[in-house]
Amino acid sequence: MSERVAIVGVGWAGFRPSTPYQSYKELMYEAAVRAYADAGVDPRRDIETFVTVSEDFHEGTSIFDEYTPDQLGGALKPVHTIGGDGLHGLATGYMLVRTGRFSLVTVEAHSKASNILTLPYITAYAQDPVLNRPLRLNPEYIAGLEMHRYLYETDTTPEQCAAVVVKNKRNALLNPLASFAADLTLDEVLNGPPVAWPLGRHEVAPLADGAVVMVLASEEKARLLTDKPVWIRGIGWCNGPASLESRDWADAPHIREAARLAYRQAGIRDPFQEIDFAEVDDTYAFKELQHLEALGICLPGEAGLLTEQGATEPDGEFPVNVSGGSLGVGHLLDGTGLARALEVVLQLRGEAGPRQLEDVEVGLVQSWRGVPTTSGVVAVLSN
Amino acid sequence: MTLLERDPNAPVFWKGNMPVTSRYTFGLAGERFFRAIKDEGRILGTRCPECDITYVPATLFCERCMAELTEWVDAGEIGEVHTYTLLFEDMDGNRLPEPEIVAFVRLGDGGLVHRLGEVELDELYIGMNVEPVFKPAAERTGSILDILYFRPVD
Ligand SMILES: [Zn+2]
């Protein structure tokens, strides 16, 4: 049996700051229909099992199984509803194909952020109930604490973090799915209002609504369905010490380890040389830099320099977040990782329109579940 | 959005909330940790001799080697500002009149997230020594809020 797993269909819906006319089920439905058309499959007949990623409290519901299979065509089929980021769903779908029991799997993740009225309170519930939560602090303080220690240990500058914002929001100008494209100057970013100094408002990805659906297939099935399969060559995930009391405030060891697992599986030894471009988590601007370093693209303290020198621009040596990232596209909560993966798929298929990179064969995608977590996923995709 | 407000067919929404009320038991080590704050104004940790790590707050087990920890230690009265931030927004996203200074204070190999007080911003730095300011003993309840804040040590 072949061990290869391919992405053979992608679909999306929403990608707007708010979607008042659509329910999240309709967003999922719209994305699913597109993905099935793209893959050339009939979901009721062909898809064998379904994975949905969601966080109950983001939905204002409990037990999300009760809300998920119908709009994906998954009723009376095996369904997993898992908590995590969208890429955790991709990893789960990958494993389901690798069991040999399933040759076609649907993976879905979404955000209806515009319906959430008390997000900081929900996020606060992910902190220790008696050590942290009684302080009643907006959870963005955790990003501020991490950023300050990251700058301190790596000598990265606020200007280098701001350069990430300028780059990603400018990249987003070429992406019709991006809600927060802008042509800003470094000074405009640096002089914006502070949220949790040294973290500024412009350095925080704004939220958006949207759904992403992907169809995964075994190699045998992929060959029948498409001449543009995108292969999942390696995928790894990892959780760091989660508590605020024992985490590393400057580094992202969970991403380092997730990358090691993904690279080992994909046979990648030198990611900077062997990978052509990356979509990485930029929920906060400094995270793009910290994550690039944890991914082994460069050494700690170098990602800011690379960014300043233009190496991560679309025409640079190692383009990062050509899509605009979450800073430019909008943050899709649990759907963010799949949104990053969507861009990698489009680039590898040569379907990225005016922002298409030339001659790309191997792409990297990385996700992080946001504060206060230390949960991350890394995948290597190729055409 | 004004366009929506004028549109008689604009979508309605249903507001909801979740009535979640719960208990949390902090466990054997956590109880003892808070009791020491309440009764003695002391911050306790536990040591893993195998890994040479002092956990603060005290835990019952070592997350590195999974050993049960039985050696209790006083984490001392002085910690170090490991990182800090100026928080400008409250839980509802509203601008605070004055930013709050929030720090991770290193104690042993762990530490505590807490507010800083009695400190001038231009004197504050990573690596600064700070000490906890406790509520008067009679007012303490065995909570993280028994520590009012940390302040610089002269
Ligand atoms: Zn140990």
CB-CB contact of A370 with A204 (8 Å): no
Any chain B CB within 8 A of the CB of A63? no
Q: Of A150, A195, A203, A243, which to mutate for an interface test with B (greatest number of B Cβ within 10 Å)?
A: A195
DSSP B51: T
Q: How far, in Å, CA of A27 to CA of A108, rounded? A: 11
Phi then psi for A340, rounded to 5 degrees? -65, -40
Q: Considering CB atoms only, which of A21, A57, A145 is closest to B104?
A: A145
Q: For chain B, what percent of residues have pLDDT higher than 70? A: 94
Q: If you average pLDDT over residues A29-58, what whole number do you get?
A: 97
CA of B61 to the centre of ligand 1 (A): 8
The alpha carbon dihedral of A306, A310, A312, A315 has a sign of negative
What digits encode the pLDDT tens for the residues A163-199? 999 999 999 999 999 999 999 999 999 999 999 999 9
CB-CB contact of A337 with A346 (8 Å): no
Shortest distance between the Cα of B139 and any Cα of chain A, in A, equals: 16
Shortest distance between the Cα of B87 and any Cα of chain A, in A, equals: 4
What digits encode the pLDDT tens for the residues A318-345? 999 999 999 999 999 999 999 999 999 9
Q: Of A138, A239, A244, which to mutate for an interface test with B (greatest number of B Cβ within 10 Å)?
A: A138
Q: How far, in Å, CA of A240 to CA of A252, rounded? A: 8
Lowest mean pLDDT: which of A57-71, A240-254, B140-154?
A57-71
pLDDT at B18: 87
Residue where the block lists tokens 């991770």: B104
Contacts of residue B57 in chain A, CB cutoff 8 Å?
131, 245
pTM of the predicted model as reported, rounded to 2 decimal places = 0.96
What digits encode the pLDDT tens for the residues A201-228? 999 999 999 999 999 999 999 999 999 9
pLDDT at A2: 66
Beta strand extents in chain A (DSSP E only): 5-16, 49-53, 79-82, 104-112, 194-197, 199-200, 209-218, 230-239, 277-279, 362-368, 375-382
Tokens linked to A76: 């009376």
Triad A55, A30, A99: Cα angle to 5°: 60
pLDDT at B2: 52
Q: For chain A, what percent of residues have pLDDT higher than 90? A: 96
Q: How far, in Å, CA of B68 to CA of A136, rounded? A: 32
For A312-349, letters b (16+ CB in 10 Å) and e give bbbeeebbbbbbbbbbbbbbbbbbbbbbbbbbbbbbbb
What class is the A5-117+208-225 domain? Answer: alpha beta
Of A116, A117, A10, the C-alpha closest to A55 is: A116
Q: How far, in Å, CA of A131 to CA of A118, rounded? A: 21
Residue where the block lists tokens 């994305």: A31
Shortest distance between the Cα of B102 and any Cα of chain A, in A, equals: 7
Triad A5, A9, A13: Cα angle to 5°: 135
SS3 (DSSP) at A98: helix
Beta strand extents in B1-154 (DSSP E only): 44-48, 53-55, 71-74, 79-89, 95-107, 110-115, 129-134, 147-152
Q: If you average pLDDT over residues A357-381, what whole number do you get?
A: 97
CB-CB contact of B88 with A196 (8 Å): yes
Of A302, A282, A290, the C-alpha closest to A251 is: A290
CA of A262 to the centre of ligand 1 (A): 28
Q: How far, in Å, CA of A345 to CA of A332, rounded? A: 18
Residues B83, A60: C-beta atoms closer than 8 Å: no
Residue B1 has pLDDT above 50, yes or no: no
Q: Considering CB atoms only, which of A21, A60, A195 is closest to B88?
A: A195
Q: Considering CB atoms only, which of B24, B87, B111 is closest to A144?
A: B87
CB-CB contact of A345 with A121 (8 Å): no
SS3 (DSSP) at A76: coil
Burial group, residue A133, by CB count within 10 angstroms (0-12, 13-18, 19+)? middle
